[in-house]
Structure 1
Amino acid sequence: MPSKSSARLAALTVAAVCTAASAVALTSPAHADSMRIHDIQGSTRTSPYAGQKVTDVAGIVTGVRTYGSSKGFWIQDPNPDDNPATSEGVFVFTSSAPKVAVGDSVTVTGTVSEFVPGGTSSGNQSLTEITKPTVTVVSSGNAVPAATVIDAKSVPSRYTPAGDTAANNSVNGLTLQPKKYALDFYESLEGMNVQVRNTRVVTATDPYTELWVTVKSHENPTRRGGTLYGSYDSQNTGRLQIQSLGATAAFPVANVGDTLTGTTTGPMDYNQFGGYTLVANEIGTLKSGGLTRETTKKQSRGELAVATYNVENLDPSDKTFDAHAAAIVNNLQSPDIVSLEEIQDNNGATDDGTVAADVTVNKLIDAIVAAGGPKYDWRSINPVNDQDGGEPGGNIRQVFLFNPERVSFTDRAGGDSTTAVGVTKVQGKAQLTASPGRVAPADDAWKSSRKPLAAEFVFHGKTVFVIANHLNSKGGDQGLTAQYQPVVRSSEIQRHAQATLVNAFVKNILDVQKNADVIALGDMNDFEFSGTAQILEGDGALWSAIKSLPRSERYTYDYQGNQQVLDQILISPAIRRGCDFAYDSVHVNSEFNDQISDHDPQVLRFKP
C-alpha cells in the first residue's frame, strides 16, 4: 500500500491549493457586518454564511499554526451565547505564517469557507474557516478564554446520529445535539479552546508527532491499556487525537497504556487523518505504563507452530531485518511455519520490472540465523510485475518460511503467477495440483491485489494445507468521523469477493477429505466480526481462531485509538474439533512508538 507519508504529503498539497475551491456557497444575505463567531458556526456542521464575506469578526487568539500547508490561527469569542450547539471558536486560514500571537484580541474580515480535509471524495466532514483574511490586532496579552473540559461525563456514549437519507446520509445539515451524540459534541467545540486531563494513551506516538488518548478509561479496555474495537456499534466515543502546536522535540514519545498526566490544552481541529484533534499548546506530562513486548510459548515437540506476520513492505534497503529476526526468534519462539506478508522484490519500490524477492527473503533468513534461530527454507511465487497492488514497484507477495528440521514442504511442480491451483483426490486424500500454487489468480477479485498462496506441508507424517492471504486493504473506506453516517466501507466489495474464493477453495479440499487439516491465515484486512470473516468461515469450512481468546486480547492492529483485528488464522473443523490448539496474538508492534511493523504477528500451535 502507498506509505502514509506519501498520502499525507499529497493530501496537504491538495489542501493548500484547494482550500478556497472547496468552499460551499449557500444562499443568504450577500454581506454580513460585525458577525459573531457563533453566528458563523451556526448550529449545524456547515456555516449559514459559507461563501460570503464577514466583517470585523472579534475574538481572542488561542493558537497559532506556522507550519504545514494549513497555516493560520484560531480565535474564540470570550462572550459565548447560551446555545451549546454553536461553537465559539473558528480557524482563520492565512496561507502564510500569521502575524498574531496567543492572547491577541483581533478583528477579522474575510470569506467564510467550508474546507473538506482530504477533498470531497474522502467523505470527511468540513472545517469552517475564515479565508483571505484582513486581520487587525486590537490589543495583546489578553487572557485566553477558559478551556472547555472534555471528560467522561461530557462526552455522550452514543457516537453519531444517522445521516439525512435525503442528503445521501450526510449529517451536515442536521442540528447538532451535543448532549446526545459524541460527534455532535466534538463538532460543537470546533475551533474552541479545549482541555483533557490525566488521559490514557490508546495509540502510541507516530512519526507525525501525534497520538491518541481516551477520556473514558473504562470504555472497552484491553488488558494492556488500549481501547478495543469490538463491533461496528462500539465506536469508543472517548477517543481523541492529540497533536502539538509547539516544537516536535517536546512531544511525548508514548506507548499504549502510558498516561498524559495533568492537563493538555489547545484548539479543537478537524483533519484528514483522524478527524477531531486537540492541537495542544500545552501538553501533559508523560507517565509510563511500563508496557513490554510479549513473548509466546514455545511449541512442544508434538505441536506444529504456524504464524502469520505482516513485515510492512520489507525490502533489502530496510534497516529492520535484525529487529524482525529477533521478533521471530525470541517473541514468536521460531514457529515451524511463518507466512510473511508484504515481502517486496529485490529493489523495493524501484519500478524497473524486477519481481524476484530472493535477496529480500534470504537477508531475513540470515538475520534469523544470526539471532539464534533455525535456518529456514522458503517458498513463494513471484507476481506479475505491478499486478498485485501495494507500493508501486514493490511487488509485495506472501512468502512461506519453514523450518526443515521440524516440517517438510511438499514440492509439486506447476504453480506459477497465472495458473490456478486445484484440488485432486489421491488414494482417498486431498492433494493440491501444485505446491506452492496460487488460488484463482486470474479472477477479477484479485485485480491489483495479492493472490493467495497455497501449499502442502508434512508434520509427523500428517499433511497440513496452508493458504497465505493478504486481502484487499481498507483504503478508500470512509473514516469513522465522516459526514456520511453510517459510513461507507467500499473496500468490502472486493474483499468479500476474495473471501468467497478462499472459502470455496477450502471447501474443495474438505469435499475431498473431510478431516483435512486446513489453515487460511494472513492479513485479512478485516475484523473477526466482519462480513469478510463470515464469508471466510461460511458453511463451517473455517473458524477464526482469534475468537478463542478473551475479548480484551483480540487485536492485532491499532488505528486511531481503536485496537482491532486485521490479521487472522482460520482453522478447519478437524483442527477446531480436537480442541488441542492454542492461539496467541503476540503484541510486539501495534502498541509501541518504535514499532518495526504496524501489525502484530499471530501464532497457532496444534497437534495434527
Structure 2
Amino acid sequence: MPPSFCDYSHRLPGFLFTLLLAGCGGSDASQGPPPDQFSAVRNVAGAPACPAAPNSLRNITSVQGSSRLSPRDGQPVTVRGVVTGDFQDTRQLHGFFLQQPVPDQNAGTSEGLFVYLPSGAKRVTAGQYVQVSGTIDEYKSSSADTDRLTRINNVKTITICGTGPAISPRAITLPLASNKDFEALEGMLVRFTQPLTVSDNHDLGDHGTLLLSVGDRLWQPGNHPVRTDVAAIATDNARSQILLDDGANIVHPATIPYLSASDTSGTRRTGDTVTGLQGILSWSFNAWRLHPTERPVFTSANARPDAPMAVGGTLRAASLNVLNFFTTLNERGANTSLERTRQRDKLVSAIIGLDADVLGLMEIETGTAALTNLVTAINARMGKNTYAAIQSGTPGSDAIKVAIIYKPAAVAPVDGPELPPTRGFIVDGGVRPPLAQRFSARDNQREFWLVVSHLKSKSSCPRDSRSIERDRGQGCWNAARTRQAASLDSWVADLVSRSGEPDVLMLGDFNAYLSEDPIRAIEAAGYENLLRRLPAKERYSYVFAGQSGALDYGFSSKTLAAQVSGVTIWHINADEPGVLDYNTESRPDDRYAATPFRSSDHDPVLVGLNLQLRR
C-alpha cells in the first residue's frame, strides 16, 4: 500500500474514522465473523483477504434487501466489496460506491451501496477491495423526495484489503417495466446499451445534469408526433428516462459539464445523443440518476440552425416571445443594466435572423419605453427606420403585453390598432388582451389582419383544489384559456365583419399544446393551424419538465390559407441550455454570446405569405 495513503491518518481524530492498514494501524481480528446467510461475503474468488470482521459482517445484498428501504436501517454493519465509483472530493458526493463481486441470484436486491464520508478526504480508489464498518442510513435529500438512498453513514473503519476482482457493469435497456425497477440496481455499476437522447438541459448550469431518454426526445402527452393515448404516453415517458449527473454535490459548477466546446460556441442541445453511457445508478433529489465513471461521448445530432428554414413568399410574418424584456430593472426581466444590454443584444440578433416584415412580440414590458428601446436597438444594427412599432400604450392590467413591429418599406398600417373588449380575456382578476393591426402590402396594396395573442399560462395554479382551473390534465387555467380562445374567435370575426377584410393571420403564445382544448377551439372556428403543415417532429417550440411541445402558433383564416407559402419554427431557444441566456447571476462559467441562441425560452414561428389581389 503506498505510504501516502497512511498520511491521511493525522486528519482523522476529528472524524469517526479509523484506517486499518498494514503499517498504518492494527486490525480488529479479536472477533471472527458470525455465521451469515450468504457465503459470498467471506470468500470471493480473486479477492484479497481482509482482516477478520466483527459480528456485524453482512453481504451488501442483505443490507439493501428486496424492498424500497433497507431491513437493516439504523443498524451497525460491516460490508466488503469493490470500489466502483470514487466521488470523495469536497465538491463531489463526499463518498464512494461499493459493490459486492458475487451476486446473490436475487434480481430484487442490489449488490451496490454508497459509503458517505462527510470529511471529503480521499481514502479509496476505484478497483480496490475494501471492508467498511458503519451504520445503515436511509437518506432523504429533500422534502420532495418520494424515495431514499440506502447508504453507510457514521463510518467507523475502512480497511483497504488490496485490488479487487473486476466488476462488470449491469446492462440496462430502456424503457423499464416500471421506473421502480431502478431500486434493484441502486448503487450498482451499470451501462445503458442503447443510444440515449437529451430531452432536457434546464438544470445543466445549476446542477450539472441532463435528462436523457431512449429513442426520440420525450414529448408532451398532448403534443406527441404519432400517439394520442395521453395517459399511456405520460407513463411511458416516466419509464424511458434517466438523469445524467456530473457526480458533484454543488450548485452552479465552476465548469459547465457536457458542453460541445470550451468556448462560447459550446452547447448541449435537446435532441443530441450519447452512446455507451456507464456509471453508478443512484437516487437523490427525487430522481434516479447516473453518476458517470467514464466520460460520456455525445453526438451533436441536433445542430444549431444558423437561419430559419425557407418559407418563401413576398412577405414574412413572425412571432417571438421575448421572455420579459423590461427596461425597468429588478422587475420580471433584467436586474442590472448589463443584463438588460445582454438580453437586448440577443433579442436583436434573433429578430435580425427572422427578417420578418411584421413581427408579433409577447412578454414585453407594458407601456412604450421597452418597445421603443428594442426597436431603436434593431435599427442601430439594420439601418435607420428599418422597423417601426405599433404603439398600443398600456392595455390591460398585466406588467407585460403583446406588441407589433413592422418594416415600413414592406407594409403600411391601415388605420389604428385594435384592442378587444376586456371582459372576454379577464383571468384571475387580470387581463392581457390581444392586439390586432390591419396592414397593406406596399407591392400590391393587398391587405390582411395580423392578430397577436398571449393566452393565460399554465402556472400559478389556483389554491382551491375544487377549482375548475386546477390541472385536469392540460395544465392549470385550461378552462380560462379555452374561454379566451372563444373570445378571440368572436372578436376576430367582428373585425372581419366591420372591415370587410377576411384575410387573418393569428400569431402568438397560446400556452396550450397541439391537441389541447384552446387549440381545438380555434381550429373548430375555421382557422388552419399552420404548424400541422410541418413534419410532426418539428412541431415544438418549448421544452418543459423534459418534454417538448408547441405553445407558439400561426393560424390562418380560410381565405388566407392558400396564400401561405410556408411555415417554420426556428429552434434557437427551446433546445438550448438555459445557462446560455443573458443572466449574470450565478455564472462562474459564463458562456454568454450575443447570438440568437437562448435569446428566449420559446422558439419563434415564421410564416411566408404570397398576398394575392382579389378578383
Report if TM-score (shorter chain) is over 0.5. Answer: yes
- Which of residues 302, 327, 330 is equivalent to 2:350? 327
- Which of residues 109, 113, 125 is equivalent to 2:138? 113
Partner of 2:439: 458
Amino acid paired to 2:388: Y
Aligned partners of 2:64 and 2:475: how far apart in 1?
35
Partner of 2:406: 402
Partner of 2:22: none
Q: 1:306 Cα deviation (Å)?
A: 2.5
* Contact 1:267 1:278 survives alignment (8 Å): yes
Deviation string 1:16-36 (CA, Å, 9 cap, x unpaired) is xxxxxxxxxxxxxxxx96554
Show the 5 A alignment for 1:418-437. 421-422=420-421
Verify: 1:497 aligned to 2:480, yes or no. Answer: yes
Partner of 1:431: none
* Contact 1:308 1:522 survives alignment (8 Å): yes
Q: 1:563 Cα deviation (Å)?
A: 3.5
* Contact 1:299 1:605 survives alignment (8 Å): yes
Aligned partners of 2:107 and 2:461: how far apart in 1?
34
Verify: 1:363 aligned to 2:344, yes or no. Answer: no
Distance 1:50 1:572, change over 3 A: farther
Amino acid paired to 1:310: N
* Contact 2:320 2:602 survives alignment (8 Å): yes
Show the 5 A alignment for 1:75-154. 75-92=98-115, 97=120, 100-103=123-126, 105-113=130-138, 115=140, 117=142, 119-120=143-144, 125-130=146-151, 132-139=153-160, 141-142=163-164, 145-150=167-172, 154=173
Aligned partners of 1:370 and 1:126: how far apart in 2?
55
Q: 1:466 Cα deviation (Å)?
A: 0.5
* Contact 2:197 2:213 survives alignment (8 Å): yes
Aligned partners of 1:579 and 1:86: how far apart in 2?
63
Verify: 1:268 aligned to 2:272, yes or no. Answer: no
Q: 1:137 Cα deviation (Å)?
A: 1.1
TM-score, normalisation: structure 2: 0.66
Partner of 1:582: 566
Deviation string 1:426-485 (CA, Å, 9 cap, x unpaired) is xxxxxxxxxxxx5645432x65xx7242223223453415132153145789xxxxxxxx
Aligned partners of 2:489 and 2:349: how far apart in 1?
33
SS at match of 2:361: strand
Partner of 1:291: 303
Amino acid paired to 1:245: G
Aligned partners of 2:460 and 2:294: how far apart in 1?
33
Partner of 2:359: 338
Percentage of matched positions with identical amino acids: 20
Show the 5 A alignment for 1:182-581. 183-196=179-192, 199=195, 201-203=197-199, 206-208=204-206, 209-216=208-215, 219=216, 232=230, 233-234=232-233, 235=236, 238-245=240-247, 249=255, 251-254=257-260, 255-256=268-269, 258-260=272-274, 263-272=276-285, 275-289=287-301, 291-293=303-305, 294-297=307-310, 300-301=313-314, 303=315, 305-316=316-327, 317-318=339-340, 319-330=342-353, 332=354, 334-343=355-364, 345=365, 356=367, 358=369, 360-372=370-382, 374-382=386-394, 388=398, 395-409=399-413, 421-422=420-421, 440=424, 442-444=426-428, 451-459=432-440, 460=445, 462-473=447-458, 492-510=475-493, 513=496, 516-537=502-523, 539-559=524-544, 562-576=547-561, 578=562, 580-581=564-565
**How many residues matched?**
481
SS at match of 2:277: strand
Distance 1:207 1:230, change over 3 A: farther
Distance 1:529 1:491, change over 3 A: closer
Deviation string 1:148-202 (CA, Å, 9 cap, x unpaired) is 233xxx223xxxxxxxxxxxxxxxxxxxxx5x33x23434333322223683553
Partner of 2:78: 56
Amino acid paired to 1:335: A
Distance 1:272 1:490, change over 3 A: farther
* Contact 2:312 2:565 survives alignment (8 Å): no
Aligned partners of 2:543 and 2:512: how far apart in 1?
13
* Contact 2:217 2:548 survives alignment (8 Å): no
Aligned partners of 2:461 and 2:131: how far apart in 1?
40
Distance 1:506 1:249, change over 3 A: same
Deviation string 1:47-86 (CA, Å, 9 cap, x unpaired) is 1549644533544442426466965443333332323233
| RMSD, aligned α-carbons | 4.1
Aligned partners of 1:556 and 1:466: how far apart in 2?
19
Deviation string 1:295-349 (CA, Å, 9 cap, x unpaired) is 2336533x4x33221233334533143332222222x2x2132222333x4xxxx
* Contact 2:362 2:509 survives alignment (8 Å): yes
Aligned partners of 2:461 and 2:114: how far apart in 1?
27
Q: 1:585 Cα deviation (Å)?
A: 1.0
Q: 1:409 Cα deviation (Å)?
A: 4.1
Amino acid paired to 2:293: N
* Contact 1:116 1:126 survives alignment (8 Å): no
- Which of residues 599, 602, 605 is equivalent to 1:599? 602
Distance 1:56 1:131, change over 3 A: closer
Amino acid paired to 2:490: K
Aligned partners of 2:311 and 2:602: how far apart in 1?
21
Distance 1:239 1:475, change over 3 A: farther
Amino acid paired to 2:259: V
Distance 1:48 1:212, change over 3 A: closer
Q: 1:100 Cα deviation (Å)?
A: 4.2
Q: 1:501 Cα deviation (Å)?
A: 1.9
Distance 1:376 1:512, change over 3 A: closer
Distance 1:513 1:287, change over 3 A: closer
Deviation string 1:533-566 (CA, Å, 9 cap, x unpaired) is 33454x3354432112111221223456644323
Distance 1:458 1:108, change over 3 A: farther
Distance 1:36 1:536, change over 3 A: farther
Aligned partners of 2:218 and 2:371: how far apart in 1?
37
Amino acid paired to 1:80: P
Aligned partners of 1:34 and 1:495: how far apart in 2?
57
Aligned partners of 1:98 and 1:536: how far apart in 2?
62
Aligned partners of 2:360 and 2:243: how far apart in 1?
33
Aligned partners of 1:287 and 1:463: how far apart in 2?
44
